[in-house]
Amino acid sequence: MNKRKFMNKGMITGELKKATDVILKNKNIEKIFFLMEPHLKGKNNPCSVAVKTNKKVIYPYYSSLSMNCGMGLMRTNIKFSELKDKQYDLFKEIDRVTTLSQLGRLIGKDEITREELDEILLKGIDAIPERYFKLEKKAFEREGNLFRNKNIDRRVILDTIPKSLYGGTYREIGKNGGGNHFVEMQIVDEIYDKSSDLKKNDVLFMVHLGTGYLGDNVSSFYCNINYKLLKILYSTVVGPRFVFLKKVAFNLKRYGLRFLIKNSNLLFRNKDYQIGLEYNSKNGRDFLMAETAALNLGYSWRYITYDKIIRSLKKVIKTDFQYDLVLDKSHNSILDEKDGLYYTKNACWLKGEGDLFILPGNYTNYSYLCKAGKKLSEFDYFMDHGLGILLKEDDSKLQLKETMMKFRRRRWIKTKEIQYSYETLENSEITHKKLKEYEKKGYFKIVARFKPKASLK
C-alpha cells in the first residue's frame, strides 16, 4: 500500500525525499499528503503536508506546536477610493489597537477576564463576549468550537492547561504577535467565478494570526521528555501574573535548556518527530484536550482581531458600511476524528467540494480565493496555506505603475511612529498560470484574485 500522495511530484526530491522515507517507517501512519508546496523549511522540516495516523499513538511533532495559527478573510462593501487617502490613518489606528509594546505586555489593560478566557477555551467563538461585533459562525472552520456537541468536563479540560500561560493571554488575545503574522488590506482585482457576489475594488482584510504563548507552548508540556519538571516549574515559580518572568522562562526553555527538553517543532527531525503519547493514556488524553482548547482560542483570537479592524474602520471613515466574514481556517492543527488522527502543518482542512479557502501571496503579491474541487477528495480535502514557493519560482515579476504601503508594528517600550514605504507590486504571471493548471486538474476553482494595498506586520 502506497501511503504517500503527491499533488506536486516535482518537489519531492533530495533531502525532502529522505525525510519522508524516514517518517514512513512509522507503522501507525496510514496516509501522508504532500500538497502544492511540500518544501523544506530548515533541516528536515517540510511545509504544506497533512498526515493521518491510527489512534494508537499521538505524535505532536507531526503538526506545528503553534496550534491554530490560521488565516481569515473579511470583506466589506467599502470601495478603495473611499480609503485611498486614509490608509495611513487607518493602519495607524489598527496598529494602535492590535499591537502591544513590551511595557503593555507587562502592565497593559486586559482585553478579557480570567472567566472569559476559561469560557473561550471551552466554547470557542460561542463564548465571545457580547461587547464585540457579531460575525457569522458558519464562516469559521467547524463553526469555531471543536468541543461543540461533545460531552465534556470543563474542570478536567481546564486542568490540562498550565495557568502560567494565562497571564499574557488576557492582554494579548486579538493582538498581532509579530513574526510572519500580519493584517493586510486588499481589494478585489479580478472575479473569475461569475456566481460570486464579490464586487471589483471592494476592500477586504486578510489576517494571519496564531494563539500567542498559550497556543505556542501548551502542547510542549506533553511532548517534552521532562514535561513534568517543566510543568511544576512554570506553574509555581512563574505564576500567571508575572508576564515578564513568564516570557524569560519560555525563552530559557526554548533556547537555553536544551539539555532538559526536546524543544524542536520540526516535523521530520530524525530524533524528535517520533516522540509519541499513547492515545489511551492520561497524558495522551490531556494533550488532545489541551490542544483542542488551544484551537478554540485561535478562532476566538482572530474573531477579536476582526472586531478591532471593524472599529478602526468606523473611527476613520465615519460612514456606515457592511462587512461579513468570508472564512477563517487553521493551518496548524491535530484533529481527532472517528477514523483516525489528522495532523496539519501549514495546510488547511476543507469540508468538501465547494468549500472556500484562501491562497495568500507574499505581502507584495496577489492572493486568491478558491473553491475546493472534486479531485481534492484524493487528498481528503486538505490544501496549502500559501503560495510562497510558487512565487519564488516566478521570474516574471513585471513592475506595475502602482504601489502598496507596508507598515511596521510598534516595538519595545516606546511607541514608535509607523514606518511605511512604497514598494512595487509584483505581477506574478507564472504563478497564475500554475494555479490554472491545478484548476484544470480539478483540485479547485479560482473564485477571485485580490490585490494587496497595505500590510501591517
One-character DSSP codes across 3-24: -EEES-GGG--HHHHHHHHHHT
| Cell 493602519 sits on residue | 91
| Cell 496577489 sits on residue | 366
Rounded distance between C-alpha atoms, residue 97 and residue 112, angstroms: 14
- Provide the greatest CA pair distance for the chain: 61
Residue 115 has pLDDT above 50, yes or no: yes
Rounded distance between C-alpha atoms, residue 91 and residue 307, angstroms: 14
210-266: per-residue pLDDT in tens?
Answer: 888 788 777 666 765 444 444 444 444 433 334 444 444 444 444 333 333 333 333
pLDDT for the residue numbered 167 = 66
Rounded distance between C-alpha atoms, residue 333 and residue 65, angstroms: 8
The CATH architecture of the domain made up of 4-456 is Alpha-Beta Complex (3.90)
pLDDT for the residue numbered 26 = 81
Contact 386, 369 (CB under 8 A): no
pLDDT for the residue numbered 229 = 46
Contact 341, 428 (CB under 8 A): no
pLDDT for the residue numbered 67 = 83
Rounded average pLDDT over 92-98: 90
Residue 218 C-alpha cell reads as 501548551
Q: Which residues pair with 405 in a beta bridge?
A: 422, 454
End-to-end CA distance of the chain: 44
Residue 107's pLDDT band (boundaries 50, 70, 90)? low
Q: Crossing angle for the helix pair 114-123 and 282-317, nearest 10 degrees?
A: 110
pLDDT for the residue numbered 260 = 35
What SS3 state is found at 118? helix
pLDDT for the residue numbered 334 = 92
| Cell 477555551 sits on residue | 121
Contact 292, 160 (CB under 8 A): no
- What pTM, to 2 d.p., does this model score? 0.87
pLDDT for the residue numbered 133 = 96
Rounded distance between C-alpha atoms, residue 262 and residue 185, angstroms: 39
- Phi, psi (deg, nearest 5) at residue 150: -115, 145
- Which of 84, 71, 347, 339 shows the shortest CA–CA distance to 203? 84
- Cβ-Cβ contacts under 8 Å for 17 (sequence gap 6 or more): none
**96 exposed, middle or buried (CB, 10 Å; 0-12, 13-18, 19+)?**
middle
- 234 vs 45: which has the higher pLDDT: 45
- 452 vs 25: which has the higher pLDDT: 452
Contact 166, 148 (CB under 8 A): no
Residue 212 C-alpha cell reads as 500567542
Residue 318's pLDDT band (boundaries 50, 70, 90)? confident
Rounded distance between C-alpha atoms, residue 386 and residue 436, angstroms: 15
Contact 455, 396 (CB under 8 A): no
Q: Which amino acid is at 119?
A: E
Residue 372 C-alpha cell reads as 475546493
Work out the mean pLDDT of the chain and round it to a whole number: 80
338 C-beta neighbours (distance < 10 Å), count: 5
Residue 344 C-alpha cell reads as 496539519
Residue 418 has pLDDT above 70, yes or no: no
CA 385 to centroid of chain Cα atoms: 9
- Output DSSP code: residue 62: G
